[in-house]
Amino acid sequence: MKAKNSKERLTSFLKFVTLFIVTVAMIIVAVYFNFKIPEKENQLLRNQIKTISIENEYQINFLTEMIELTEMIETLGAPGQNTSYENSRISAKIVDLEKSIPPKSTSHVYDMHMAITKLYVELQDAKIKLVTLKESEATIAEYQLAYENCKKDLTQIERELYIARKLN
């Protein structure tokens, strides 16, 4: 005995299977994209973190070089040092610092780093002038002392001349 609504049952069953397959496929696609897209996003974020960590490492190295350079410039005028040798070492260090700056296209702080190196060059020049002026200051002090001695001698000789004229 065959059911009277077997045709309707078959179409209903096929509709159910079709809708079930479509629904399962949609769920599978949603789950796939849910995991696949964040994976790409995570890879992009990892690359950004790597770039930032490299830049951060460079900044730390740059800061260390700046501190060393500052110490070298501060000791430039110390007594007992060869000023020209120290000056050439500082110049070489500034050149190395400038060469280590990444190209403008890869770093957003290129202009700042270049300005810092220019400031170090200006600081070095100012320190050299200061050392020169300190040496000149000592010379001026010697000349002032000699001038005062000459002034005293002149006053003494004028008195003696005055006394000698009075006696004649």
DSSP characters for the chain? ---TTHHHHHHHHHHHHHHHHHHHHHHHHHHHHHHHHHHHHHHHHHHHHHHHHHHHHHHHHHHHHHHHHHHHHHTTT-TTS-HHHHHHHHHHHHHHHHHTSPPTTT-TTHHHHHHHHHHHHHHHHHHHHHHHHHHHHHHHHHHHHHHHHHHHHHHHHHHHHHHHHHH-
For residue 123, the model assigns a pLDDT of: 92
104-137 pLDDT tens trace: 766 678 888 888 999 999 999 998 888 888 878 8
Whether 42 is covered by a domain: the verdict is yes
The total of structural domains in the chain comes to 1
Whole-prediction pTM: 0.61
Q: Which domain holds residue 138?
A: 6-167
In a domain, 116, yes or no: yes
Let me know if residue 1 belongs to a domain. Answer: no
